[in-house]
Amino acid sequence: MPDRAPDPLVAEEPSLTPRHQEALQQFILLWGEMASHWGINRTMAQIHALLYAAERPLDTDEIMERLQISRGNANMNLRALVDWDLVRKTHQIGSRKDYYTAEQDVWKITTTIIEQRRKREIKPVQQALAACTTTLRTGEPLTNEEAQFVDRIDNLADFIDVFEGFTSAFLPFLQSRSGEQVKRVIQFAQKVRRTKNGEHDDG
C-alpha cells in the first residue's frame, strides 16, 4: 500500500521555468487556434500540442490540469488522437494509469494527418457526387441544363481523382522524412513547367 505525499491537487510542473510555461501556453493556444481554422477540434489539437512539446509521457490527470478540461473531455480527445495514430498509449511500471506520447517527427505527423483526413473525407465526397449524377440520370434523358450540371459535377470528380493521385504519389516522400527528395522533385516540377510553358491552350 504505497502512501502518497499529502500534496494532492497542486500539480504544477515543478521543473518548468516560468518562460517555458509561458511559451508552452503560447504554443498550445496557437495550435488549437490553427486547428479550429481547419475544422479540427480545438481541444484535441491542444492536447496534441501539449504532448508534442512534452519531454515525457503524460497521464490524463496532468493533461486535465494543464489544459483545464474535464476528465470526459480529455478522455474523448485522447481516444480520438490515438484513433488518428497521432498519439500512443504507453505504461509505466508501478502504475496502472495510461500515459500518452505524441509522435515527434513532423514529417510523420503531417503524413498521418493527411492520410487520415483523406480517408475520412475524400471518399464520402466522391460517393456523394456520384449520387448527384445518379439523381440526374434517373428516368428521362437529360435536358441541356441538366447535362451542363452533370458536366460540372464530372469536372469536379475528375479533378478530385487527379488530386488523389497526386497525394498518394507524394505521401511516401513525407513518410520517409526525405526533405531532400522533395526538393529534387520541386526542381523538376519547375523545369517541366518552364519547358512545357506555352504548349497548353484551351481550344
Partner DNA sequence: ATTTCGTTTCAATGCGGAGTGAAAGATAAG
Partner DNA sequence: CTTATCTTTCACTCCGCATTGAAACGAAAT
**Residues 30-59 within binding reach of its own copies (CB under 8 A):** 30, 34, 36-40, 52-53, 55
Q: Note whether 14 binds its own copies by CB under 8 A.
A: no
Among 54, 76, 132, 182, binds DNA (CB under 7 A): 76
Complex with its own copies: residue 20 or 79, whichever CB lies closer: 20
Q: Is 162 in the site for DNA (CB under 7 A)?
A: no
Note whether 93 binds DNA by CB under 7 A.
no
Choose the contact partner of 92 out of its own copies, DNA, none; CB within 5 to 8 A by kind. Answer: none
Question: Quick check: 122 and 164 in contact, CB under 8 A?
Answer: yes
Contact 167, 114 (CB under 8 A): yes
How far does CA 189 lie from the centroid of its chain? Answer: 26
Q: How far is CA 144 from CA 21, 64, 106, 137, 151, in A?
A: 64, 59, 50, 12, 11
User: What's the rounded Cα separation, in Å, for the pair 35 and 115?
Assistant: 16
DSSP letters along 80-111, please? HHHHTTSEEEE--TT--S-EEEE---HHHHHH
**Of 13, 24, 27, 41, the one binding DNA by CB under 7 A:** 41
Interface segment toward its own copies; rule CB under 8 A; list 3-11, 78-86, 90-98, 153-161: 153-161
Does position 99 interact with its own copies (CB under 8 A)? The reply is no
Phi-psi region of 59 (alpha: psi -120 to 50; beta: other; left: phi over 0): beta
Q: Which is nearer to its own copies, 2 or 198 (CB)?
A: 198
Using CB under 7 A, list all residues that contact DNA: 1, 36, 41-44, 59-61, 68-73, 75-79, 95-98
